[in-house]
């Protein structure tokens, strides 16, 4: 099957694949819009009392792994690997499914993560210094709840601890890459090559280090990181298996043969339709609109004549009359007798 797929390039089958997955790309854009809206709305402000500040007094630090760096090694790095395999095998279907699958993995994870963040509103470990940047804490005399006087955007971000976005994004992108590499290098072929497992675990190790950095920077509790990693890895697994077979499957290095045949049929259908439209356009340009109208009239007259001849034999008077049944039966006996030479009783 791999030999049959080597000639499927971006130029030859790109348009067919884009038409086939047009709605998938539209839904992908809708997920991006939804995630953007979730980042704009105000999260739930969970009650934070004076006694709770003991566990929220960690220092306010910067990010060891900046937010802009997560898409680089969570999306751009896997894309580079996908393109490298494409230039080697010339399999555009594999490239398209890899790009679409990892984007779905990351965006679905982002929507789930940000929705939970806004709904839970758990304070970060450094919430004290976000709420009281000058170190002077103020509480309500009745409820002992905090009365923050810090920057509004910083306080808003302080209520988004659970789950960790860095962890979920990293495991969504790099977890998908781990599945992808496991299928491409046939890591589960039972031949005992441990080096293949090291290649598969390398993206997961990178995602784990990103998750650990969030705890070291006091931006998240360990429960936030663990839950984010679980969400990202689960969504990555579902998205990979939506586009590719299991890595230990016989076709694990690519996708199913049935899908290849389906795309080949769509490609032939698309080319045939295009050639038909091109021929009609050239005919109209050569013969002109008058000739086209004459041709349409001829086709219409021919169709009417055919329908009239077809219906005339059933519209003769007495055709369905009971006395005609014996006559028709006698005709059919003669036809069968002449064909088979067998006397009918």
Give pLDDT tens digits for 175-189.
Answer: 999 999 998 888 887
Residue 76 lies in a domain: yes
Q: Return the axis-axis angle of helices 77-89 and 165-184, rounded to nearest 10°.
A: 20
Spell 69-96 as b/e; 16+ CB within 10 A means b. Answer: ebeebbbebbbeebeebbeebbbbbbbb
- For 43-110, the DSSP string reads PP----BGGGGGGG-------SS-TTHHHIIIIIHHHHHHHHHHHHH-BHHHHHHHHHHHHHHHHHHH
Tokens (6 digits) for 65: 């792994």
* Known active-site residue 13: no
Joined tokens for residue 248: 């230990």
pLDDT at 304: 59
3-state helix, strand, coil split of the chain in percent (to 5) is 70, 0, 30
Q: Which range marks the domain in which residue 86 is found? A: 2-255
User: Does residue 314 belong to any structural domain of this protein?
Assistant: no
Contact, 82 vs 176, CB < 8 A? Answer: no
Crossing angle for the helix pair 10-20 and 22-40, nearest 10 degrees?
A: 70
187 falls within a domain:
yes
Tokens of 325: 């049944």
Model pLDDT, residue 15:
73
Calculate what percentage of the chain has a pLDDT beyond 70. Answer: 68
In this structure, what token pair is assigned to residue 185? 């290098």
Quick one: tokens of 235? Answer: 């969504």
- Residue (of 230, 228, 231, 234) closest to 214 by Cα position: 228
pLDDT > 80? residue 317:
no
Domains contained in the chain, number: 1
| Distance (Å, whole) CA 233 – CA 198 | 18
292 in a structural domain: no
291 within some domain? no
Residue range 12-24: average pLDDT?
76
Residue that is written with structure tokens 């760096």 in the block: 69
Could you tell me the sign of the dihedral formed by the alpha carbons of 9, 11, 16, 18, in that order? positive
Q: Does residue 225 form part of some domain?
A: yes
pLDDT for the residue 190: 79
Q: Is the pTM of this model over 0.75?
A: no
Q: Which of 13, 96, 159, 166 is catalytic?
A: 166
Listed residue (184, 173, 170) closest to 244, CA to CA? 184
Do the domain assignments include residue 342?
no
In three-state secondary structure terms, 145 is strand
166 given a catalytic annotation: yes
Residue 303 lies in a domain: no
Q: How confident is the model at residue 245 (pLDDT cuts 50, 70, 90)?
A: confident
For residues 337 and 343, is the Cβ–Cβ distance under 8 A?
A: yes
The residue annotated as part of the active site, out of 13, 220, 221, 321, is: 220
Q: How far apart are CA 91 and CA 343, in angstroms?
A: 66
pLDDT at 1: 42
pLDDT on residue 195: 87
Is the C-alpha dihedral spanning 110, 154, 152, 227 positive or negative?
positive
pLDDT at 328 over 60: no
């Amino acid at each position: 099957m791999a030999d049959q797929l080597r000639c499927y390039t971006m130029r030859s089958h790109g348009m067919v694949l884009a038409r086939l997955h047009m709605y998938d790309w539209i839904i992908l854009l809708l997920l991006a819009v939804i995630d953007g809206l979730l980042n704009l709305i105000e999260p739930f402000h969970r009650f934070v009392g004076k006694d709770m500040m003991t566990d929220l007094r960690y220092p306010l630090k910067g990010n060891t792994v900046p937010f802009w760096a997560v898409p680089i090694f969570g999306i751009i790095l896997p894309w580079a690997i996908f393109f490298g395999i494409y230039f080697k095998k010339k399999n555009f279907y594999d490239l398209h499914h890899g790009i679409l699958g990892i984007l779905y993995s990351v965006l679905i994870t982002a929507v789930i993560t940000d929705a939970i963040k806004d709904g839970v509103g758990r304070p970060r470990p450094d919430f004290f210094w976000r709420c009281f940047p000058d170190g002077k804490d103020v509480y309500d005399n009745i409820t002992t709840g905090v009365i923050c006087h810090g920057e509004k955007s910083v306080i808003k971000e302080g209520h988004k601890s659970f789950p960790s976005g860095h962890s979920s994004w990293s495991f969504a992108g790099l977890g998908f890459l781990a599945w992808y590499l496991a299928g491409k290098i046939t890591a589960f072929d039972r031949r005992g090559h441990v080096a293949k497992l090291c290649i598969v675990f390398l993206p997961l190790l990178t995602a784990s280090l990103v998750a650990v950095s969030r705890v070291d920077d006091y931006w998240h509790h360990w429960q936030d990181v663990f839950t984010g990693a679980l969400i990202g890895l689960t969504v990555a697994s579902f998205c990979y298996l939506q586009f590719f077979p299991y890595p230990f499957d016989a076709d694990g290095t690519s996708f199913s043969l049935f899908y290849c045949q389906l795309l080949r049929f769509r490609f032939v259908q698309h080319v045939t339709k295009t050639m038909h439209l091109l021929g009609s356009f050239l005919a109209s340009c050569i013969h002109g609109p008058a000739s086209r109208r004459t041709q349409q009239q001829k086709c219409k007259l021919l169709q009417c004549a055919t329908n009239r001849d077809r219906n005339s034999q059933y519209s003769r008077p007495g055709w369905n009359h009971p006395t005609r049944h014996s006559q028709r039966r006698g005709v059919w006996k003669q036809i069968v007798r002449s064909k088979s030479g067998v006397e009918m009783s």
